[in-house]
């Protein structure tokens, strides 16, 4: 089936903001197929607790692919307790080299309250600048908005919510139905 036979899945804006000892990951709830909104209440931000660790993940891209990656990340976290960055690097290596995983189309924002990371299928594990990470179709809008708000008196959650509202106003593949998870102080 060619890309023209089946319109691509679009949607999702995920943002991670670290400020004042807290990290907030927020994601919208819209899933679109071509020009049609299929669902407006999807949960794209999840809390994982492998081996008693507290980790928050947000994902953009194919939901089934993202769940596969989250399961793999949980296994990596169980194998390397308390070492989020190492677990993410191991996941990224597998994702880049495993023939099955290479076909997965998703990106992750992952945090344990200390580290804030973006994990991609290209083998990247990135620590974002300015304590803000954003992915998905409206990610650049949310990133720009959060960068403009980060030095205000707003909390990490307030910055994330305001940035997501701006992204939802601009990106047709993003809505204002948010899932927000906070980790840290």
End-to-end CA distance of the chain: 49
Residue 184 lies in a domain: no
**According to the model, what pLDDT value does residue 21 have?**
93
Residue 107 lies in a domain: yes
Residue 167 lies in a domain: yes
Number of neighbours of residue 151 by Cβ within 10 angstroms? 10
pLDDT in tens, 114-126: 999 999 888 899 9
**According to the model, what pLDDT value does residue 7 have?**
44
Contact 161, 14 (CB under 8 A): no
Residue 182 lies in a domain: no
pLDDT in tens, 157-174: 999 999 999 999 999 999
pLDDT in tens, 67-118: 888 999 999 999 999 999 999 999 999 888 877 777 778 889 999 999 999 9
Residue 116 lies in a domain: yes
The sheet with strand 55-61 has its strands ordered as: 45-48, 55-61, 106-111, 116-119, 125-126
Q: Nearest-CA neighbor of 44 among 170, 164, 163?
A: 164
> Which domain CATH number covers 126?
3.60.20.10
**According to the model, what pLDDT value does residue 185 have?**
58
Q: Which domain holds residue 92?
A: 9-175
CA-based torsion, 181, 171, 95, 103: positive or negative: positive
Average pLDDT of the residues of the chain: 89
Contact 112, 54 (CB under 8 A): yes
Residue 104 lies in a domain: yes
| Tally of domains within the chain | 1
pLDDT in tens, 32-49: 888 889 999 999 999 998
Residue 54 lies in a domain: yes
- Over residues 123-142, mean pLDDT: 94
Residue 181 lies in a domain: no
C-alpha to C-alpha distance for 142 and 26, rounded to whole angstroms? 10
Which positions are annotated as active-site residues? 12
């Amino acid at each position: 089936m060619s890309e023209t036979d089946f319109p691509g899945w679009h949607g999702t804006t995920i943002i991670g903001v670290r400020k004042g000892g807290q990290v907030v990951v927020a994601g919208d709830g819209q899933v679109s197929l071509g020009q049609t909104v299929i669902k407006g209440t999807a949960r794209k931000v999840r809390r994982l607790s492998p081996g008693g660790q507290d980790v928050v993940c947000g994902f953009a891209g194919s939901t089934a692919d993202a769940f596969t990656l989250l399961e793999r990340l949980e296994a990596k976290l169980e194998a390397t307790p308390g070492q989020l960055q190492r677990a993410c690097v191991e996941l990224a290596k597998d994702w880049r080299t495993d023939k099955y995983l290479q076909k997965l189309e998703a990106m992750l924002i992952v945090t344990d309250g200390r580290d804030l990371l973006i994990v991609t299928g290209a083998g990247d594990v990135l620590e974002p600048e300015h304590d803000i990470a954003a992915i998905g179709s409206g990610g650049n809008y949310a990133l720009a908005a959060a960068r403009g708000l980060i030095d205000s008196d707003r909390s990490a959650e307030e910055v994330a919510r305001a940035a997501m509202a701006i992204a939802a106003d601009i990106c047709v593949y993003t809505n204002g139905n948010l899932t927000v998870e906070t980790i840290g102080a």
